[in-house]
Structure 1
Amino acid sequence: MTASSARRTTAARSPLAAASAIAVAGALLLTGCGDQTKDKSKDSGSSVSSAPLAAKLPKDIRDKGKIEVGSDIAYAPVEFKDSSGNAVGLDPDLAAALGKQLGVTLEFQNGTFDALLTGLRSGRYDIAMSAMTDNKNRQQGVDPDTGKKVGEGVDFVDYLTAGVSIYTRKGDTQGINGWSDLCGKKIAVERGTVSNDLAKAEAKKCPSGKKLTIEPFDDDQQSQTRLRSGGVDAASSDFPVAAYAVKTSGGGKDFQTVGQQVEAAPYGIAVAKKDTQLRDALQAAMNAIIKSGEYQKILEKWGAQDGAVKQSVINGGK
């Protein structure tokens, strides 16, 4: 993805569960997210021979026995690292369930969010699964800032819906109750996300003398740190992440969400355009776990059940 063409959230979806429903994993959130190293944990899958959907995979993936997944593993509760350095969260759990259907391991590799699609195109990863919003710009490889094509697009296997939220220090909202209240303020966002896109769009509307200052960071943990220290007035991220931060940071004493979530859209697993067989295998596996009920159990574990989809589709983002 290019900076803004790899945004985290969007495609027809309902709001995710409120902050109180977000599960506290009791895990240590790590801030390092740009090392591009493999995560030592491997989401377990059953053997190829016994897996019900193994035959749908490309032969090279079956022979390799794994699907390499690019992910920004600092976005709790969707994906983050536990105290042992293992990838945990909603996406890793769903990936493990997909692996059982396909008979391979889905191995998460850590990278900065705005470089994941670039890594996918270059062959560093087989897929990208990182709370990534499926939208037309990403499908077509278009930079939303310029409207120009900057690379080959990707296909998405959609699996969840979520929106974008703003949060502030608790008890210090600075009069912010939505995007239109940000002129004259400072906001922290993760680079290359929908939050970043929305902030840029809002900044263009601000009158002279009330500039919206945008501070982009490599990962969401850095944005939270900046807000916590008082360096900015607000931060923005996908609703499940904002809600998790509100519930867990400082024992729930650091942040509060303000206003309503916006830009509800689908999360999708990104697959290179040429890899249609892999794409279709992942879609079949996702629909299999939706049908079996395992999908619903995983979403409930992470408080994401309100974003559930009834069926996985390809490129459902607008």
Structure 2
Amino acid sequence: MPSIRSARLLRSLSAGTATATLALGLAACGSSASDSTAATSADQAANGTVTVAALSNGAGTQTDLKVSEVASLHAELPASVAKSGQLVIGVGALPAGFPPLAYVGSDQKTLTGAEPDLGRLVAAVLGLKPVLENATWENLFVGIDSGKTDVGFSNITDTEERKRKYDFASYRQDNLAFEVVKSSTWNFNGDYTTLAGKTVAVGSGTNQEKILLEWQAKLKAAGKQLTIKYFPDNNSTHLALVGGKIDAYFGPNPGIAYQIRQDANTPNPTRNAGTYSGAGASLQGLIAATTKKDSGLVKPVADAINYLIKNGQYAKWLAAWNLSNEAVSTSQINPPGLPLSNS
């Protein structure tokens, strides 16, 4: 998975594809993770409980969620998946992980994060054993293509280009966000003119830089100034923010959610000052579970997500990872994605 500074080049990746932002000290992903590193999630699911944010090393709040198999949804599964009794969940978190979405936990072996946790929850609803397969970003899709992986839960953005090969079941908004120090009174409400007079840091070569540069040009045409700053690494960006050298940092929302949690009990807490769709002004970007096209799996996955939404486990999953501001009201099958001209 690319680093945050290289993520979103040409918008090929999602708003939070590599959200190891401004963060230090979490364990890096190691070798491929299988059901042996799924902690006790399979046993818990059998008992009607799935623990989310386990071994999160401070990135999440461990929460036990009651989830049982729904027979009517299990009946929707393709025969081959139902017969196997397992859901092979692909996560593209090698080599370094991207907290809080997918990374190796505090035991140095278990794959944790919001993405594998949702995969475990969906498996529980469908009455399947979750089998986690951790791979590089590229090999995640190789696994789906080959049929070795049933579904990808890896912060994959729904795009029209990807729809040529895959089916999608959406489950999270694909958002960017502004991080500011907690004492700041500035908020972003979607109107770029509120950035006039501000100094904002952004990663070079990212989609958020592209958006910020467009806003800067519009403000300049109106006789107003937006100063954009670049820093060599995440730590220096964070130091610039808490040190008052910049007014805000513009980056992937999940990574900012993670950093805010890390800062919460420090002398320099930060907060989220507002989000913006990773797809731009004309479309709300969406993150989606990804299956091989016409495999027959996308509907039961979407229905399982909607079951979790309706029964409250979905909201608790998001809250456990500080991602409630990316909630969707329903899981959609193949909703409008980033257009081919912007994928």
TM-score range, shorter chain: 0.5 to 0.7
Structure whose alpha-carbon radius of gyration is higher: 2
Which residue of 37, 61, 74 maps to 2:32? 37
Task: Let me know the Cα RMSD of the aligned residues.
Answer: 4.4
Structure 1 distance, partners of 2:291, 2:230, is: 30
Aligned partner of 1:313 in structure 2 is 332
Which residue of 304, 307, 314 maps to 2:323? 304
- Per-residue CA deviation, residues 33-92 of structure 1 (Å, 9 max, x unaligned), is 4x5612511642449xx6512222222222332222222443333333321132333333
Which residue of 195, 198, 211 maps to 2:208? 198
Structure 1 distance, partners of 2:215, 2:139, is: 29
Which residue of 161, 166, 170 maps to 1:158? 170
Give the length in aligned residue pairs: 270
Task: In structure 1, list runs of 5 or more residues that go unmatched.
Answer: 11-27, 140-151, 172-176, 217-222
Aligned partner of 1:71 in structure 2 is 91
Conserved? CA contact 1:70–1:111, under 8 Å: yes
Conserved? CA contact 1:79–1:90, under 8 Å: yes
* Most deviating of 102-111 and 245-254: 245-254
Structure 1 distance, partners of 2:294, 2:90, is: 17
Task: Describe the shift of the 1:102–1:235 C-alpha distance in structure 2 as closer, same or farther (beyond 3 A).
Answer: same
Task: Describe the shift of the 1:103–1:197 C-alpha distance in structure 2 as closer, same or farther (beyond 3 A).
Answer: same
Aligned residue runs from structure 1 range 83-102, under 5 A: 83-84=106-107, 85-102=109-126
Structure 1 distance, partners of 2:122, 2:83, is: 17
Conserved? CA contact 2:318–2:324, under 8 Å: yes
Structure 1 distance, partners of 2:302, 2:112, is: 22
Percent of residue pairs bearing the same amino acid type: 21
Structure 1 distance, partners of 2:275, 2:179, is: 10
TM-score (structure 1 length as normaliser): 0.64
Task: Describe the shift of the 1:279–1:226 C-alpha distance in structure 2 as closer, same or farther (beyond 3 A).
Answer: farther
- Determine if the alignment matches structure 1 residue 267 to structure 2 residue 282: no
Structure 2 distance, partners of 1:88, 1:287, is: 22
CA deviation after TM superposition for structure 1 residue 158, in Å: 0.9
TM-score (structure 2 length as normaliser): 0.60
Task: In structure 2, list runs of 5 or more residues that go unmatched.
Answer: 2-7, 18-24, 48-68, 218-226, 241-245, 278-283, 338-343
Conserved? CA contact 2:16–2:255, under 8 Å: no
CA deviation after TM superposition for structure 1 residue 279, in Å: 0.8
Aligned partner of 1:81 in structure 2 is 104
Which residue of 249, 255, 277 maps to 1:241? 255
CA deviation after TM superposition for structure 1 residue 228, in Å: 5.2
CA deviation after TM superposition for structure 1 residue 248, in Å: 0.2
Aligned partner of 1:14 in structure 2 is none
Aligned partner of 2:300 in structure 1 is 281
Aligned partner of 1:57 in structure 2 is 77
Task: Describe the shift of the 1:206–1:97 C-alpha distance in structure 2 as closer, same or farther (beyond 3 A).
Answer: closer
Task: Describe the shift of the 1:187–1:127 C-alpha distance in structure 2 as closer, same or farther (beyond 3 A).
Answer: same
Secondary structure at 2:132's aligned position in 1?
strand
Conserved? CA contact 2:114–2:321, under 8 Å: yes
